[in-house]
Chain A
Amino acid sequence: MTTVTRAIPAEKAREEDSITRFDIHQRIQHLFLLLSFVVLVFTGMPMKFAENGVSKWWIGVLGGVEPTRLIHRGAAWVMIVTCVYHVAYLVYNIVVQKKSLTAMVPSKRDFILFIQEIGYFTGLRKEKPRFGRYNWREKFDYWAMFWGIPVMVLSGLVMMFPVFVTNFLPGWVVPVALIAHSDEAMLALTWIVIVHVFFNHFGPGVFPMNPSIFTGKLSRERYMIDHAAEYEKLKG
């Protein structure tokens, strides 16, 4: 095993030489999550940083604060529907199709792989860790949404219907919702920009991007590098 990881670019994968990694539902879910996320960021951040000159200019371009809020709420509903779609997809596959979807389930092995990757990055370990179908970063991104999206959706709904909500919840939920929504948004944005974008756009051999989440396919060569343990299992 060589330490050189910059092997064959993902986009060069030939049809017969690639492995299907994501089904059509997963690709649609990611696409709509991505689109709604981008729209939410570009309409939410200028409202968070309202005093900034760029925010004022951009909201002017969008036609004022009302259209901005309308777009923000529209994108939020797209994200909510996407999440419902994903949960329905999980339930259908597990309950009806009786599939065991365990690839995304975190385990002790992920922690070991995480330590191994840190070792590899810092030069304490020669070999790249041999990841399964999903590496620890992918699992982190995935499971973080089970925290982040409920926080964003619930706090967003509180701010969307403050009068209705305070009919049966204490008044402090409104300022709390604003704080949670605002900070959790920053968390999601910075994590996506720093970690997700770095590894999936600037990682070795993937620049300008790893298109597998859109095409569903990943080249055999990249699969061997990025998901070595899973690749071996696939070969049987």
Chain B
Amino acid sequence: MVTRWLGDKKWLFVPAGIFLLIGLFFVLNSSPAYALDESNCLQCHGNAGLTKTDNVGQKVSLYVSEKSINTAAHRYVDCTSCHSAKPHDAAAIPSKESLAQQCGSCHQYEAKLHSQSIHGVQLALGNNEAATCIDCHSADGNPHTIIRTLEYTAPTYKKNIAATCANCHAQEDLMASYGIVEKVYESYMRSFHGKAMELGTYKATELDKATCTNCHGVHDIKAVTDPGSPVAGLDNLSRTCEGCHPGAGVEFAKGFLGHKEASPQNVPAAHYTEIIFSTLLITVVAFGVIIMLLAARKFIANRWKERA
């Protein structure tokens, strides 16, 4: 085909081939992006075995994975921007709170919102269980592996948010210690919102479904008992619903089961509907199965007799 089209100009294959080879050389020889490392920290800290012994005699890893930092959101922010210009003089290993302050030196708006959130308030009280920046933004709680929210593998990518919250909020014992008895993750995944998210793709344009943060807030998450929470009380809740469901009123919000099972106290109509319909389902299906089995037995017996 190509030879016919080229006719007697077959020599054109030679420059075309050379062009292709040069192109291939550039494509295949291109190297991945490297993180900015102006002080060559990775020369030592890139070794997986690098550790030190702290003043209580515990081994602490000083390793920073070059592979993950090369794809991290802050790959072009030099190490010394977060660690001081003289990092080896650092007195202590960063705490959860000092880490959050470090992030806040650039991300001031988010830090302010977080400090007023239930997580931030708890953190300021010295509660190390409360979520801070790295708990949500890094898959392994490591500031060096934070990737941008729009990366589909990011723990804060919209489709992954529920699973990220579930890291803590699906731990029954942990939640019980804060008086949160609702199985929030499980009930979300069973809801319209959760199913739509679960069955949806990772396409950013198809993620217009509600996840935890759409109702509860993002950096400014408040306890549901806090009157400032967007889900506290039917008025706040219905206004939050209205954000996505134009015209939704208080009655619409009342249809929400509150992350709980329906019960005689919680939306009794749904509770009794469940009982009526499951009884109906079991009875009718059992009746059908009995009829079918009796008939099948008879039909087989008839066939058997016919053959004999």
Give the interface of A toward B (CB within 8 A). Answer: 3-6, 46-47, 50-51, 55-56, 59-60, 64-66, 68, 118, 120-123, 137, 159, 162-164, 166-167, 169-176, 178-180, 183-184, 186-187, 190-191, 194-195, 198-199, 202-204
- Could you say which residues of chain B place their CB within 8 Å of the CB of A198? 292, 295-296
* A194 / chain B contacts, CB cutoff of 8 Å: 285, 288-289, 292
Pair A191/B284 contact, Cβ less than 8 Å: yes
Contact yes or no, B255 A172, CB < 8 A: yes
Q: Produce 1/0 per residue, B268-308, CB < 8 A to A.
A: 01100110011011001100110110111111011101100
The interface-forming segment of B53-61, B67-75, B89-97, B192-200 is B192-200
Contact with A along B198-236 (1 / 0, CB 8 A): 111100001000000000000000000000000000000
Give chain B's interface secondary structure class.
helix
Shortest beta-carbon contacts, A-B, top 4: A171-B254, A183-B277, A171-B255, A174-B255
| A residues near B273, Cβ cutoff 8 Å | 176, 179-180
User: Could you say which interface size class chain B belongs to?
Assistant: 35 or more
User: What residues of B have a CB within 8 angstroms of the CB of A121 in the complex?
Assistant: 291, 294-295, 297-298
Residue interface mask B232-250, A partner, CB < 8 A = 1: 0000000000000111111
* A-B CB pair tally, cutoff 8 Å: 142
**A64-B200, A121-B298 given; 15 more Cβ-contact pairs under 8 Å:** A4-B305, A5-B299, A6-B303, A64-B199, A68-B199, A118-B291, A123-B301, A137-B291, A162-B245, A170-B254, A171-B253, A175-B262, A187-B284, A190-B288, A204-B302
Inter-subunit contact B302/A6 (CB<8 Å):
yes
Contact B285 A166, beta carbon cutoff 8 Å: no
B66 shortest CB reach to chain A, Å = 35
B252 CB–A CB distance under 8 Å: yes
B134 sits at the interface (CB 8 A):
no
Complex: A169 Cα to B278 Cα, angstroms: 24
